[in-house]
């Protein structure tokens, strides 16, 4: 069980969050002839959320440069600090053979996920003049495995599934609380319902593998709220669906993601008292050029009240390197969140991928699953569909 360092922090009813920790790489020394160099990685303070850093070795410079494959072995790895962990760990670099004065570097590949960037490059020098940098001690918490500790409250099933334009106590809405568009997000997709816009494809239907949320470029634009919409998005929103709402407990989706550039699939939660706050269980930023649907996952939270966001905190994770998980558009994967009074914990395929102190104590949540569209392209590469094989909600006291 994680012990919170923030039990006395005033979250101001979900409008404040402790500041980010800053991650630093520390310079290191190694004795000539030694077999391993230890390079410090430090946080400047206790972190309220998981901090993930990708580090890689780089050859030295000048006449005493150490070279990968000759003097040291290349290291390209992920360093993870979870809430409650010690503030220092070390990266072990295997040394083939370094003479007095030879040096190479370890550097951050980008700004740490979930934290701020301090010293981003560390120099490792072979020297007999000082004590070698020691391996860090301390116990680091292993990632949790997902377990449904609450009582099963809801399970998505074809024979009981219901939806309507605005939803109801026993059914999903095919709109968002504020309507069928999200212009503030610069979305170009109109959230469709075949009962509101007859003749459109989908946008929600049961296929052979599960419930399909279908996004598309429209053959004929739809005029809505003073403008033409050229793309169709899709959503199931639980704001009025009582069985989908919990305070504490777990949500777990088993789904296959789209791969189409410009699609923006997501599983997220909104407070029943209004937005914000928000918990993003999964987001796929397909409108960003860097985004790889098969290797990237984003988690996050948004704080605030009365329609005004006061903070946003989260991570984009290259999950293949960090956790050995990939191919989210090629097969089905489980995306889950566990909401407890002290921490919110995210999971992919049962493995903990992120954790944050919970600033939203006392809120109840309703789920949203959607495929937004944010593009002006042909929108015809890959698949624009999210397929949900299963969805379960567990309620805890």
> Is there a single domain that holds both residue 166 and residue 121?
no
The CATH number assigned to the domain holding 26 equals 2.60.40.2030
Residue with tokens 């409250």: 153
Specify which residues 29 forms β-bridges with.
125
Question: Would residue 288 count as lying in a domain?
Answer: yes
> Is there a single domain that holds both residue 201 and residue 320?
yes
Judging by DSSP bridges, how do beta strands 263-271 and 278-283 pair with one another? antiparallel
Question: Would residue 140 count as lying in a domain?
Answer: no
Question: Would residue 144 count as lying in a domain?
Answer: no
Tokens of 214: 């279908």
Asked if 136 contacts 90 with a C-beta cutoff of 8 angstroms, the reply is yes
pTM over 0.85: yes
> Is there a single domain that holds both residue 40 and residue 91?
yes
Q: Backbone dihedral region of 179: left (phi > 0), alpha (psi from -120 to 50 degrees) or beta?
A: left
The predicted pLDDT at position 339 comes to: 98
Distance CA 111, CA 51 (A): 10
Question: Would residue 142 count as lying in a domain?
Answer: no
Question: Would residue 5 count as lying in a domain?
Answer: no
Question: Would residue 56 count as lying in a domain?
Answer: yes
Calculate the CA dihedral of residues 163, 166, 172, 174 and round it to 10 degrees: 80
> Is there a single domain that holds both residue 52 and residue 105?
yes
> Is there a single domain that holds both residue 90 and residue 216?
no
Write the pLDDT tens digit of every residue in 273-294. 999 999 999 999 999 999 999 9
The predicted pLDDT at position 4 comes to: 64
> Is there a single domain that holds both residue 198 and residue 109?
no
CA-nearest of 306, 247, 299, 238 to 276 is: 306
Question: Would residue 139 count as lying in a domain?
Answer: no
CA-based torsion, 81, 84, 88, 91: positive or negative: negative
The CATH number assigned to the domain holding 309 equals 2.60.120.200
- Residues present in the chain in total: 397
Residue ranges, the chain, pLDDT below 50: 1-2
The predicted pLDDT at position 2 comes to: 46
Instruction: Supply the DSSP string of 277-324, one letter for each residue.
Output: -EEEEEE--TTSTT--TTTEEEEEEEEEETTEEEEEEEEEEEHHHHHS
> Is there a single domain that holds both residue 122 and residue 161?
no
Domain residues for 79?
22-126
Question: Would residue 185 count as lying in a domain?
Answer: yes
> Is there a single domain that holds both residue 85 and residue 199?
no
> Is there a single domain that holds both residue 180 and residue 116?
no
> Is there a single domain that holds both residue 107 and residue 192?
no
Alpha carbon separation from 107 to 39, 58, 92, 235 (Å, rounded): 10, 7, 14, 42
Q: Per the structure, how many domains does the chain have? A: 2
């Amino acid at each position: 069980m994680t012990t919170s360092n923030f039990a006395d922090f005033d979250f101001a009813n979900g409008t404040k969050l402790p500041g980010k920790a800053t991650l630093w790489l520390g310079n290191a020394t190694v004795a000539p002839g030694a077999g391993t160099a230890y390079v410090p990685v430090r946080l400047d303070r206790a972190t309220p959320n998981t901090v993930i850093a990708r580090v890689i070795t780089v050859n030295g410079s000048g006449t005493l440069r150490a070279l990968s494959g000759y003097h040291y072995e290349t290291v390209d790895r992920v360093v993870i600090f979870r809430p409650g962990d010690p503030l220092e760990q070390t990266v072990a670099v295997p040394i083939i053979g370094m003479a007095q004065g030879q040096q190479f570097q370890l550097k951050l590949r980008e700004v740490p996920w979930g934290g701020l960037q301090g010293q981003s490059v560390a120099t490792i020098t072979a020297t007999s003049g000082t004590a070698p940098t020691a391996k860090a001690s301390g116990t680091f918490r292993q990632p949790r495995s997902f377990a449904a500790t609450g009582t099963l409250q809801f399970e998505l099933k074809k024979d009981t599934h219901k939806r309507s334009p605005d939803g109801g106590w026993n059914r999903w809405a095919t709109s968002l609380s504020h309507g069928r568009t999200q212009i503030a997000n610069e979305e170009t997709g109109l959230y469709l319902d075949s009962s509101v816009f007859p003749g459109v494809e989908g946008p929600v239907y049961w296929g052979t593998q599960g419930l399909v949320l279908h996004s598309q470029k429209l053959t004929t634009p739809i005029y809505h709220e003073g403008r033409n919409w050229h793309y169709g998005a899709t959503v199931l929103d639980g704001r009025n669906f009582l069985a989908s709402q919990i305070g504490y407990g777990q949500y777990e989706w088993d789904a296959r993601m789209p791969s189409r550039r410009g699609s923006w699939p997501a599983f997220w939660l909104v407070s029943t008292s209004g937005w914000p706050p928000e918990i993003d269980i999964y987001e796929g930023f397909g409108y960003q050029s860097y985004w790889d649907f098969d290797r990237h996952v984003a988690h996050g939270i948004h704080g605030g009240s009365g329609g005004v966001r006061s903070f946003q905190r989260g991570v984009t994770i290259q999950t293949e390197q960090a956790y050995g998980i990939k191919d989210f558009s090629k097969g089905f994967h489980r995306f889950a969140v566990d909401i407890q009074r002290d921490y919110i914990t995210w999971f992919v395929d049962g493995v903990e991928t992120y954790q944050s102190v919970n600033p939203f104590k006392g809120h109840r949540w309703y789920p949203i699953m959607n495929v937004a569209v944010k593009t002006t392209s042909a929108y015809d590469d890959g698949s624009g569909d999210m397929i949900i094989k299963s969805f379960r909600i567990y309620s805890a006291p």
